[in-house]
């Protein structure tokens, strides 16, 4: 596995590759961000942004989502995967915000994870992006990049990946590292077609070296 200095080098290099890395979910306040991240589970940010463009005009506050039957909300987010389940969770979440948090999104991660449909990853995104609290949210891109580069072990759980990253990356870089790794995984180190030959981190990447070796062996035949 890579040590702290090597991990820092990787994060800095990703920053040079993607200097504008940031949250790509459109939102104008913490409440909209919670809804957008909840909708983004097993779905692309591009599609979520298309849906929220009209959704956030129709529903501005938690009570707006509770004014309509769940079936109407389902239709409004129908193009998104798991839309029935997500619509139900959105209404439950809004009811809980009104009943227990005065209609405001809590800034504490432990409180956020109590909300329906909000797991640790979503809570980390919200505290980091909306409230500026250092956090590393481990989504599919962050997990894939961490394991390919050797920041952590292949067998590590999502929580173990998060803890390893928190240990190896300085706290003040947690939030920006999360965005850089997402951009690196989304646009460069893709799941099916990673751009290993052009990767500036190939010399450090155990998975990349393996893939290049295999490619050379096939070419030699």
Catalytic site includes residue 139: yes
Give the other-Cβ count within 10 Å of 119's Cβ. 15
The catalytic position among 76, 86, 139, 156 is 139
The CA distance from 201 to 21, in Å, is 18
189 is in an annotated binding site: yes
Active-site option among 121, 209, 210, 213:
121
Calpha distance 52→73 (Å, rounded) = 12
For residue 205, say whether it is annotated as part of any ligand binding site.
Answer: yes
Please spell the DSSP secondary structure of 87-151, one letter per residue: HHHHHHHHHHHHHHSTTS--S-HHHHTTSTT--HHHHHHHHHHHH--------HHHHHHHHHHTS
CA distance 80 to 8: 36
Residues in the annotated binding site for [4Fe-4S] cluster: 189, 196, 199, 205
Which residue numbers are catalytic? Answer: 121, 139
Residues in the annotated binding site: 189, 196, 199, 205
């Amino acid at each position: 596995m890579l040590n702290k200095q090597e991990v820092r080098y990787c994060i800095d290099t990703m920053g040079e590759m993607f200097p504008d890395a940031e949250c790509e979910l459109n939102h104008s306040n913490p409440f909209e961000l919670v809804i957008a991240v909840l909708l983004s589970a097993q779905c692309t940010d591009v599609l979520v942004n298309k849906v929220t463009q009209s959704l956030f005009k129709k529903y501005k506050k938690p009570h707006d989502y509770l004014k309509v039957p769940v079936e109407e909300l389902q239709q409004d987010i129908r193009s998104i995967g798991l839309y029935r389940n997500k619509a139900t969770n959105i209404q439950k979440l809004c009811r809980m915000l009104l009943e227990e948090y005065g209609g405001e999104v809590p800034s504490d991660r432990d409180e956020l994870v109590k909300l329906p449909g909000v797991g640790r990853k979503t809570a980390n995104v919200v505290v980091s992006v909306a409230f500026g609290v250092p956090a590393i949210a481990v989504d599919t891109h962050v997990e894939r990049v961490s394991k390919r580069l050797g920041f952590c072990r292949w067998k590590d759980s999502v929580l173990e990946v998060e803890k390893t990253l928190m240990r190896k990356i300085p706290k003040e870089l947690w939030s920006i590292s999360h965005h850089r790794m997402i951009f690196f995984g989304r646009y460069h180190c893709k799941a099916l077609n990673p751009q290993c030959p052009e990767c500036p981190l190939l010399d450090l990447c155990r998975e990349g070296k393996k893939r290049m070796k295999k490619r050379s062996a096939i070419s030699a035949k």
